[in-house]
Amino acid sequence: MLVPFLAVLFGLVLLVWSADRFVDGSASVARHFGMPPLLIGMVIVGFGTSAPEMLVSALAAMQNNPGIALGNAYGSNITNIALILGITALISPIAVHSQVLRKELPMLTAVTLLAAWQIGDGALTRIDALVLLGVFAGLMTWTIVQGVRKKTDALGQEMEAELTGQTMPMNRALLWVVVGLLLLIASSRILVWGAVEIAHGFGVSDLIIGLTIVAVGTSLPELASSVIAARKGEHDIALGNILGSNLFNTLAVVGIAGAIRPMPVAPEVLTRDMVVMGALTLALFVIGFGFRGPGRINRLEGTVLLACYVGYTAYLVVGVFN
């Protein structure tokens, strides 16, 4: 059993490192071809930080492990809100602007309801997957168009600043794109193999492993990005990173996995995990309204989010032993 544990640990480290190299190389290649920094940030960096979830769920679907494919996606969403936002808020309270309440959070809530409705019959079909991917493509197109029209907003300025000076020689950039992609695929295979072996060795369902170990591991890029942004006082980036990642996971990650292989959906995904994910999303509304002042996720609320994550994980662990 030691080898699968080492495989998961090694796979997670290599997955995060290779995703970072892939993003750096892709961003530099895009700049060589004159792509605007804002679009590089929104498209390439956005895809890059979610590449671990995408590849792990895609490979799990190919290998007929629906528990890991879905558990990774929905577990990452729960981890992003409860664990990562909780930790980030403890480091630096996060301001929640009215635009987030008017646009991003309603959008994420609608997407969550769509996902719950599609798997409500106990299966994720290819038609369901194509609908999710179609909605994702529409949202991406709309977001890019809005971003190009509003280059002067905070997000645009931050992306410009983050990408300044990141261009590397073309040959080196292409090398990192190829190496990063190959290592992403290899590390995902190692991680999925180790997770499946651990699940079988302890008699635990693939779903539980996907919701916990795999979900936390593939969410490490979001954790790093949000903590760094919070320490710099860039609250828009810290919160937007999480909301964007959850949209990507719910639509693209699940959509790609379902398009590769239609899969059954365990009843507890709908009655337990989707309920927790939806409740946490709605909780951001309550926190963000700021009834006694400007909306913000303060340290107390960050502690509550962390407690929710600990409670949810403990519930999963107790369920395994029972």
Q: Is the dihedral of CA 292, 105, 93, 217 positive or negative?
A: positive
Report the pLDDT value the prediction gives residue 153, as an integer from 0 to 100: 45
Q: Is residue 301 within 8 Å of 96, Cβ to Cβ?
A: no
Tokens of 297: 């996720």
Question: How far from 137 is each of 57, 124, 142, 193, CA to CA, in Å?
Answer: 19, 19, 9, 31
Query: Within a domain: residue 200?
Result: yes
Q: Is residue 40 within 8 Å of 61, Cβ to Cβ?
A: no
Report the pLDDT value the prediction gives residue 290, as an integer from 0 to 100: 60
DSSP β-bridge partners for residue 94: 297
Query: Within a domain: residue 198?
Result: yes
What's the predicted TM-score (pTM) here? 0.83
Report the pLDDT value the prediction gives residue 312, as an integer from 0 to 100: 96
Question: For 236-248, how does the pLDDT look when each residue is reduced to its tens digit (9 = 90+)?
Answer: 667 777 888 888 8
From start to end of 80-134, where are the E strands?
94-95, 123-124
What is the C-alpha to C-alpha distance for residues 27 and 148, in angstroms, rounded to an integer? Answer: 17
Provide the residue type at 9 as one letter: L
Query: 27 is in which domain, residue-wise?
Result: 2-317
Query: Within a domain: residue 207?
Result: yes
Q: Is residue 4 within 8 Å of 201, Cβ to Cβ?
A: yes
Report the pLDDT value the prediction gives residue 157, as an integer from 0 to 100: 47
Report the pLDDT value the prediction gives residue 170, as an integer from 0 to 100: 82
Helix (H/G/I), strand (E/B), else coil: 125: coil
**CATH number of domain containing 186:** 1.20.1420.30
Report the pLDDT value the prediction gives residue 12, as an integer from 0 to 100: 81
Report the pLDDT value the prediction gives residue 293, as an integer from 0 to 100: 55
What is the C-alpha to C-alpha distance for residues 22 and 19, in angstroms, rounded to an integer? Answer: 5
Question: For 35-89, how does the pLDDT look when each residue is reduced to its tens digit (9 = 90+)?
Answer: 665 555 556 666 767 778 888 899 899 989 899 999 999 999 999 999 999 998 8
Report the pLDDT value the prediction gives residue 115, as an integer from 0 to 100: 92
Query: Within a domain: residue 322?
Result: no
Q: Is residue 246 within 8 Å of 81, Cβ to Cβ?
A: yes
Count the domains in the chain.
1
Q: What values do phi and psi take at 297, rounded to 5?
A: -95, 100
Report the pLDDT value the prediction gives residue 164, as an integer from 0 to 100: 47
Q: Is residue 129 within 8 Å of 263, Cβ to Cβ?
A: no
Query: Within a domain: residue 253?
Result: yes
First-to-last alpha carbon distance for the chain, in angstroms, is 22
Report the pLDDT value the prediction gives residue 52, as an integer from 0 to 100: 83
Report the pLDDT value the prediction gives residue 148, as an integer from 0 to 100: 63
DSSP β-bridge partners for residue 264: 123
Query: Within a domain: residue 73?
Result: yes
Residue numbers in the chain where pLDDT is lower than 50 = 151-165
H helical segments located in 249-273: 254-260, 267-268
